[in-house]
């Protein structure tokens, strides 16, 4: 038995939710209906749990025409792609990556460098016009992805020239916008070293007045070595290798020591496209939670690293075993397009009503649990002392500014074949009144187990989809009222992630959700369903979605408790109306928001 004691009045400081990001390739996918549905679902994570999206090759969406010496650009496809991100509440982590109509030859000739600078300036000006300076100031601009691999063709000097042009282009519009890089794949690669040296003591080839600014330094470190069949991640190794970069900067470029650090591809395993069915289970999200906690403990707390953002590069489209947040069912195969970083966009508009269906994976559900954590971190004492990197059990205790408590408890070891249970006693002091609590859990194989039990259908029926989706949500394993001691006995499965929410009894129900949109999709089985999205005040922790044949009801619950602010509901000849109700932890329901399907 491990006793875990948390004093809600003892803050350990503000808690930056530094993991709110995902990525994928290529950016062209944003024009496809499958990615649109994906973003609608991922964007509904509570607490803006996935805020930044980092697609590769966005600039391939720009078409350029050369007339004499001047270039003109057609932005229409890029506009549509960025609009889709913004529509669903995302902020671009915008890689200045791609070659519009192949017009850019390189970054050696001064004229080519100037043309790229002007292109970047025009791009950013367009973003200002469309989304406003205030919104764009919250985005990140970054260099070409992984310039130390084959993605980049112009060498180290070409890269620093390119970076100078990117910075000068952005500065021409607004020198306060965030730009950085180099997003390198290999630990301390020559490209990484050349980039930081240039930003420390080089000279911008365009301004000749010293080095270009760098607002963050981004690197990629993942949990597994390169062999496809090496399934044992080395999660502490991610932080250890990131620290090599941090120490290198501290030692060789002390002027840059306070520049924020980002790992924007921090996946448990390299190779999004390799199918490992454990990606569909709770093994992956438990690892993700541990990796995030390791960054807090080992880098932010211990090494005082100005750690800014961590992204799992898991925004791709794929099936159960892929490193994605959702499982896709439908006729398309995206593996080739995503691997080759280019999508065939011909026929795009003709094919908007393609059959598709998505089921949430635990890797998205974990972002929901993490998104419900508070803004203040609380000190944790444990007996025996917690040693998550040895035995798997770890805790992130938090408080919201309004007093609600949220404690994440994970159990994860770097070994796929280990399982077990760890009993714990969680104590949060004395109750001064009535407190409501619920424990949400991600454990086991969730929707994937249902799919296997159904005979692993490649094209599930609508009824089968409903069964899988019901199993895809975090499970409320325990809830109730605490009146004297804020104390809970729990058994924490290995692997799992658990979120304990505790709050003082709220006297009133929260406001009704506000429906934001409803979109109709055709399922692979030919059925019709509606993707509903809503907003709601923070006092609501869960939502019930109910269906009826008539406006007046009666309404039957279809989803009892959802943490995300989106759901897919079936529409048939009979079901015509849905309601979304917000619930407080005590179970008080808001007024329903009604949608005609």
Stretch that binds ligand 8U8, among 143-151, 228-236, 439-447, 501-509 (CB under 6 A): 143-151
Size of the site for ligand 8U8 (CB under 6 A): 13
Query: Exposure of 114 by Cβ count < 10 A (0-12 exposed, 13-18 middle, 19+ buried)?
Result: middle
Taking phi over 0 as left and psi of -120 to 50 as alpha, with beta for the rest, 433 belongs to left
**End-to-end alpha carbon distance in the chain:** 50
| Tokens, residue 468 | 């899988």
Shortest distance in whole angstroms from residue 226 CB to ligand 8U8: 6
Within residues 456-495, the interface with ligand 8U8 by CB under 6 A covers none
362/410 Cα distance (integer angstroms): 13
Stretch that binds ligand 8U8, among 142-150, 195-203, 299-307, 468-476 (CB under 6 A): 142-150
Of positions 146, 242, 293, 368, contacts ligand 8U8 by CB under 6 A: 146
Q: Mask: binding to ligand 8U8, 159-188, rule CB under 6 A, as x and -?
A: --------------------------xx--
Shortest distance in whole angstroms from residue 56 CB to ligand 8U8: 6
Of positions 95, 293, 313, 376, contacts ligand 8U8 by CB under 6 A: 313
219 vs 567, which CB is nearer to ligand 8U8?
Answer: 219
Of positions 51, 242, 265, 414, contacts ligand 8U8 by CB under 6 A: 265
589 vs 431, 507, 513, 550, CA distance in Å? 24, 12, 11, 21
Nearest to 540 by CA among 372, 370, 360: 372
Q: Are 246 and 189 in contact (CB under 8 A)?
A: no
Shortest distance in whole angstroms from residue 41 CB to ligand 8U8: 20
Q: Work out the angle between the directed axes of helices 110-131 and 155-173 (0-180°, nearest 10).
A: 40
164 vs 265, which CB is nearer to ligand 8U8?
Answer: 265
**109 catalytically annotated:** no
Does residue 131 interact with ligand 8U8 by CB under 6 A? Answer: no
Stretch that binds ligand 8U8, among 141-149, 168-176, 509-517, 574-582 (CB under 6 A): 141-149
218/184 Cα distance (integer angstroms): 7
Nearest to 318 by CA among 339, 335, 331, 340: 335
Of positions 1, 105, 133, 149, contacts ligand 8U8 by CB under 6 A: 149
Give the single-character DSSP code of 96: -
Backbone angles phi, psi at 17, to 5 degrees: -80, 80
Farthest-apart Cα atoms in the chain, separation: 80
Catalytic residue among 32, 142, 156, 265: 265
Does residue 310 interact with ligand 8U8 by CB under 6 A? Answer: no
Does residue 334 interact with ligand 8U8 by CB under 6 A? Answer: no
| Tokens, residue 462 | 């609508």
Backbone angles phi, psi at 182, to 5 degrees: -100, 5
Residue identified by tokens 């130390």 is 148
**221 catalytically annotated:** no
Within residues 43-82, the interface with ligand 8U8 by CB under 6 A covers 56
Query: Active-site residues: which are they?
Result: 146, 265
Give me the residues that bind ligand 8U8 (CB under 6 A), please.
25, 56, 145-146, 149, 185-186, 265, 267, 270-272, 313
């Amino acid at each position: 038995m491990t006793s875990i004691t948390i004093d809600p009045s003892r803050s350990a400081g503000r808690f930056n939710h530094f993991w709110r990001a995902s990525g994928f390739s290529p950016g062209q996918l944003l024009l496809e209906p499958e990615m649109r549905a994906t973003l609608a679902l991922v964007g509904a994570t509570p607490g803006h749990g996935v805020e930044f999206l980092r697609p590769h090759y966005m600039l391939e969406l720009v078409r350029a025409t050369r007339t004499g010496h001047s270039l003109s650009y057609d932005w229409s496809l890029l506009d549509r792609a960025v609009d889709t991100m913004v529509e669903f509440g995302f902020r671009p982590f915008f890689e200045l990556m791609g070659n519009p109509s192949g017009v850019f030859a390189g970054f050696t000739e001064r004229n080519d460098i100037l043309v790229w600078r002007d292109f970047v300036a025009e791009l950013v000006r367009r973003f200002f016009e469309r989304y406003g300076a205030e919104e764009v100031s919250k985005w990140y601009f970054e260099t070409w992805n992984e310039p130390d691999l084959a993605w980049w063709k112009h060498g180290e000097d070409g890269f620093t020239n390119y970076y100078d042009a990117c910075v000068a282009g952005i500065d021409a519009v607004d020198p306060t916008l965030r730009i950085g890089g180099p997003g390198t794949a290999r630990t301390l690669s020559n490209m990484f070293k050349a980039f930081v040296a240039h930003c420390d003591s080089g000279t911008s080839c365009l301004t000749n007045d010293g080095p270009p600014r760098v607002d963050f330094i981004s690197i990629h470190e993942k949990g597994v070595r390169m062999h496809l069949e090496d399934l044992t991640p080395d999660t502490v190794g991610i932080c250890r290798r990131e620290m090599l970069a941090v120490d290198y900067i501290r030692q060789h470029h002390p002027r840059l020591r306070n520049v924020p650090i980002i790992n924007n591809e921090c996946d448990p395993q390299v190779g999004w496209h390799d199918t490992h069915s454990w990606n569909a289970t709770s093994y992956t999200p438990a690892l993700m939670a541990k990796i995030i906690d390791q960054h807090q403990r080992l880098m932010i707390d211990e090494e005082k690293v100005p750690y800014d953002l961590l992204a799992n590069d898991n925004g791709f489209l794929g099936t159960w075993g892929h490193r994605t947040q959702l499982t896709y069912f439908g006729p398309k195969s995206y593996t080739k397009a995503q691997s080759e970083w280019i999508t065939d966009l011909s026929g795009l508009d003709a094919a908007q009503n393609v059959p598709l269906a998505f089921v949430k994976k635990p890797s998205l559900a974990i972002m929901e649990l993490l998104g419900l954590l508070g803004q203040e971190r609380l000190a944790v004492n444990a007996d025996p002392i917690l040693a998550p990197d040895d035995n798997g059990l770890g805790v992130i205790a938090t408080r919201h500014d309004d007093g609600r408590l949220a404690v994440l408890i994970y159990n994860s070891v770097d070994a796929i074949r280990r399982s077990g249970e760890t009993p714990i006693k969680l104590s949060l002091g004395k109750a001064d009144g009535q407190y409501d609590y619920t424990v949400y859990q991600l454990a086991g194989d969730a929707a994937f187990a249902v799919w296997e039990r159904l005979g692993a259908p490649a094209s599930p029926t609508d009824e089968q989809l409903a069964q899988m989706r019901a199993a895809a949500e975090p499970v409320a394993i325990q809830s109730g009222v605490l009146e004297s001691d804020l104390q809970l006995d729990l058994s924490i499965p290995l692997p799992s992630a658990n979120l304990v929410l505790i709050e003082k009894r709220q006297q009133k129900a929260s406001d009704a959700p506000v429906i934001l949109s409803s979109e109709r999709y055709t399922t692979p089985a030919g059925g019709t369903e509606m993707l509903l999205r809503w907003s709601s005040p923070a006092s609501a922790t869960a939502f019930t979605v109910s269906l009826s044949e008539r406006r007046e009801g009666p309404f039957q619950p279809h989803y009892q408790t959802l943490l995300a602010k989106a759901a897919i509901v079936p529409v048939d000849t009979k079901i015509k109306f849905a309601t979304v109700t917000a619930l407080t932890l005590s179970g008080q329901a808001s007024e329903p928001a009604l949608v005609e399907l």
